[in-house]
Amino acid sequence: MPFIELDTNLPANRVPAGLEKRLCAATAAILGKPEDRVSVTVRPGLTMALGGTTEPCVQLVVSSIGVVGTAEDNRGHSAQFFEFLTKELALDQDRCVAVVRIPLVG
């Protein structure tokens, strides 16, 4: 069961409507998990800095009960999440924090 947390300093009015639903669907497709088992939280308007600047940025944390793949798989997953985020939020990859994977005991 994947848990997705997206934190950003973008104001809520710059976060596209329905992002949480599209991120849920994208997560299911990327990780090969049923969409009805994916939980997504989007937190806009946070005080954040990345690389010493407060320019618009995003941090995505992916946690999952159970294994979501090998280290090689996870590199591919990360690339797909970055592609999704840069497209949806109109940010460069250097304004996105690397996807963090935290295995949870189920």
- Token pair for 82: 């970055």
CATH number, domain of 27, equals: 3.30.429.10
User: Tell me: the pLDDT tens digits for 5-14?
Assistant: 999 999 999 9
Contact 24, 38 (CB under 8 A): yes
Contact of 41 with 4, CB cutoff 8 Å: yes
Domains: count for the chain: 1
Among 23, 51, 24, 50, CA closest to 35: 24
Stated as kind and residue range, the H or E segment containing 63 is strand 58-65
Task: Provide the pLDDT for residue 100.
Answer: 65
pLDDT of the residue at 1: 87
Query: What pLDDT is attached to residue 25?
Result: 98
Give the tens place of pLDDT for each residue, 31-79: 999 999 999 999 999 999 999 999 999 999 998 887 667 778 888 888 9
What domain range includes position 16?
A: 2-104
Average pLDDT over residues 81-88: 95
